[in-house]
Structures are given as C-alpha cells and as structure tokens.
Amino acid sequence: MAALQSEYSRWWREPEREILPTLEELGIGFVPFSPLGKGFLTGTIDDKTTFEPTDFRNVVPRFTEGNRKANLAFVEWLKTFAARKHATPAQIALASLLAQKPWIVPIPGTTKRQRLDENVGAEGIHLKVDDIQEIDRAASQIEVQGARYPEPMLKMVGR
C-alpha cells in the first residue's frame, strides 16, 4: 500500500490518534480529504451562510446554524493567525497539514479557480514548529459542535 486516503483537518483530528502513527511506522503516505473542513476552515462560512438546496452541507449536523455559530471561535482565531502570516485561513489550514510530515499530502476540493489558486498558495507558506504548536493548542481548546455526517452516514464512515 502506497497511501491511505481519509478525512483529516484541524476540524476533525481523529487520524492523529492511531492512523498517522501507524502510517509513519509502515512508511505509508496519507492523503487527507476535506482538509478545509468541508469549506468551514476557509473563513467564508458563518452562522448566516445559506447553501444551495443540493449542497450536502444542508444535511450535515455540523453545518446547522447553531453549530456553525458555536464553531466559529476557531475560524476567528484562524483568521487572526493567518493575517499575521499574510495568508488566508484556508492556506494556513492546508499549510499546517503539509508542515507535519512530508508524506501527508492534502487534497482540497473546489469548483472555483480562485480557490484553487488560493489552495496552491499554501505550498509557499512555511510554518515553524512553534506555529504548528500554536495552531494545535487553539484547535484543541475548541470542542467542535455537531456530527461530521448525518447519523445514517456515520455508521458507514465511522464516528
């Protein structure tokens, strides 16, 4: 096996417990999908955001108005940190994953050219160990509200 693909972001860090150490031990790469927390870590979504009727996030508990409002604390922190680094929140979210290990290669999804350019810009952001520790501390102090997926899907993807 050359690589494992799984969800991972500063908004869902479960792979850090067992998956990442195991992959490192076995020399297997990691390809995190949804590294921007389904768009939430871009800083463009708030408690008043509405999604297109066909948008999957309409049925995701984490994206209800109340949960978005509760979860904005980390995004606001991320915006402030990003401004200090002359970057966007999305770039910091991606750069923080890239900075962990050379074998972690996130794959953010987008349908917009400007977001693609923004995401590619994360490669040019070089975070120091202190920066990663600061991001980790901030992320760990916030208890994310709402499930990652609707209840029927949680049984398929794991909690």
The pLDDT score that the predictor gives to residue 142 is 85
More confident residue, 156 or 22: 22
Q: For residue range 91-132, what is the model confidence (pLDDT) as tens digits?
A: 999 999 999 999 999 999 888 999 999 999 999 999 999 999
How far apart are the C-alpha atoms of 80 and 106, rounded to whole Å? 23
CATH, residue 15: 3.20.20.100
Distances (CA, A) of 2 to 5, 23, 28, 29, 101: 10, 10, 5, 6, 15
pTM: 0.91
The pLDDT score that the predictor gives to residue 154 is 55
How far apart are the C-alpha atoms of 11 and 36, rounded to whole Å? 8
Q: Are 97 and 32 in contact (CB under 8 A)?
A: yes
Q: Which domain holds residue 59?
A: 3-157
Q: For residue range 48-81, what is the model confidence (pLDDT) as tens digits?
A: 999 999 999 999 999 999 999 999 999 999 999 9
Count of the separate structural domains present in the chain: 1
Q: Where does the pLDDT of residue 156 fall: very low under 50, low under 70, confident under 90, or very high at 90 and above?
A: low
